[in-house]
Chain A
């Protein structure tokens, strides 16, 4: 009996050891899916196997991890509900109702059954906790349910830069399409080096030689700007380590000159895996529908820009469509935006009048670089994607009136059809703002008439 019990213990220990060994092996290996407590959100699934990107060693959540990736975006949005608003002790009673000082209160991970749009895991009437006074102050809001605040196209929790009342009032009665619709155009930095020709190329004799590649390089801004072969293929190493030639430069080589663009790429859907030290994103890993023949492409700068011709026009449309296979993308070539793009490419319409995929998803933004303003391409497509009102100021208003833009962005079917047609939804916020302005003006006139 005693012997039998010993064998039982040995067996038990053996099973445990085997299980421990299995989990250790899975933890150390590339596939940690066994540790996922549930599917991750659309925003994080690409990096879900890098647990430490968000978690502490004992699987707590690092609040700082949220800010590491999203802080710049929140600053750009002039966050309406920053943490600092809630950590004031006067809001302690509110924090007991809803702990708004922590991102994960509203954005829990691995709970798909509770996850709504924008990765929000809080019931959608959360505004109720702090904004009940609004119903008393604004007659227009009296009968509106709290779950409509952030879903009717009127308010967002973080980004209200295109939705605040004074902004609405400034953009009343605008036409659907502006008289001369133009998008901002990228400004190119002044070149300080002398331009190069084919004879000036400095690739080593051991590097593969291809006249077509040489011709492509000569015709680009790189040669004009004096960026030679070794500038990308053999950049100086960190800490002054000797440069060594590589046939396949990474995004780090591009970043040595295109810092902002590279940062955007790493912050967005195309580069976020690289930013976490994971293998490059591939269309096969995406949750959005992708083309089968693109499934195993590694995404890097050259995926869209090419190796040596760096054709930004191709990068703005064909590159996107060579991978993306969702209804919105597929409908693009039947859209009025595509027609405008074709007209610009053919020269029959002015520069800046065409609308490519990149026009909206990787828009040109004005930024201050070294004290002077430049228009550069934002390579983090997520910066203007969700909620889609984030796109209004940076993109839509270049060409459209605010009311039309808000209506179009609120119409999911119209988005699916890539804006072929007219909005079937109407966002009430501009009308409400205008009505309130009229009411206040009437009140002021009445008051001034009655004042002796």
Chain B
């Protein structure tokens, strides 16, 4: 189990994406891309998280916060289908995670919290519990990495802080009927992204 700083060079992220694309998703040109030799599970997890966190922040700020809170064009709602609204950023993220799972892409990710609105998203495994506590205690400055065995398979598990990037995150969580915590503030760690990559 190792803990290291989270600031990841963009170059590593881009390299990670290329490796994921070629090695995992299998969409490299003509299948001739070189194997990602020497590319560690941790580098891959970091690269994946860079993309996830970036997309998530863009959706939260440029779509939900802008259209709902600033320009008041459309609301975002937990029941977005029924209410003809935008999916919440957390839902958008989970839908992506489920789609990845359906594609059997070779890795999985989840958005969990020590204060989950849906109790099924509370940490379950030892790594999840320790990881969420760790990223919260470090105020999101440090990631958590571990190896764990689940269902007889060994996984590299990385936990990254999920930080409140806009007022929409804070107000929605603080006011939700099912929230176990109602004092979140901007830039608080609200939960964590858990990425799992099978090893050996």
Tell me, yes or no, whether A binds B.
yes
Q: Which residues of A contact B (CB under 8 A)?
A: 78, 82-85, 87-90, 92-93, 95-96, 130, 133-134, 137, 164, 166-167, 436-437, 440
Please tell me if B120 contacts chain A, counting CB pairs below 8 Å: yes
Q: Are B101 and A88 in contact (CB under 8 A)?
A: yes
Chain A residues contacting B120 (CB-CB under 8 Å) are 130
User: Closest residue of chain A to B95, judged by CB?
Assistant: A84
Size band of the B side of the interface? 20 to 34
**How many angstroms from the CA of A133 to the CA of B118 in the assembled complex?**
11
**How many angstroms from the CA of A93 to the CA of B155 in the assembled complex?**
14
**How many angstroms from the CA of A423 to the CA of B152 in the assembled complex?**
51
Q: Which of B24-32, B74-82, B136-144 contacts A (4 or more CB under 8 A)?
A: B74-82
By DSSP majority rule, is chain A's interface helix, strand, loop, or mixed? helix
Q: Are A89 and B153 in contact (CB under 8 A)?
A: yes
Q: Are B98 and A84 in contact (CB under 8 A)?
A: yes
Chain A residues contacting B72 (CB-CB under 8 Å) are none
Q: With A137-B119, A166-B78 in contact, is A90–B101 under 8 Å at CB?
A: no
Given A88-B110, A164-B79, 12 further pairs, Cβ under 8 A? A78-B81, A88-B97, A89-B153, A89-B155, A90-B124, A92-B150, A93-B124, A93-B150, A95-B151, A96-B151, A436-B177, A437-B177
Which residue of B78, B82, B151 contacts A89 across the interface (Cβ within 8 Å)?
Answer: B151
Chain B residues contacting A167 (CB-CB under 8 Å) are 79, 82
Q: Are B101 and A87 in contact (CB under 8 A)?
A: yes
Of the listed residues B78, B81, B82, B153, the one surrounded by the most CB atoms of chain A closer than 10 A to its CB is B82
**How many angstroms from the CA of A89 to the CA of B152 in the assembled complex?**
10
Q: Are B81 and A88 in contact (CB under 8 A)?
A: no
Q: With A89-B108, A133-B119 in contact, is A440–B177 under 8 Å at CB?
A: yes
Chain B residues contacting A88 (CB-CB under 8 Å) are 97, 101, 108, 110
**How many angstroms from the CA of A95 to the CA of B122 in the assembled complex?**
18
Please tell me if B19 contacts chain A, counting CB pairs below 8 Å: no
Please tell me if B102 contacts chain A, counting CB pairs below 8 Å: yes
User: Closest residue of chain A to B198, judged by CB?
Assistant: A89
Please tell me if B6 contacts chain A, counting CB pairs below 8 Å: no
**How many angstroms from the CA of A436 to the CA of B178 in the assembled complex?**
11
Chain A residues contacting B61 (CB-CB under 8 Å) are none
Please tell me if B173 contacts chain A, counting CB pairs below 8 Å: no
Chain A residues contacting B98 (CB-CB under 8 Å) are 82, 84-85
Q: With A85-B98, A166-B79, A167-B82 in contact, is A92–B177 under 8 Å at CB?
A: no
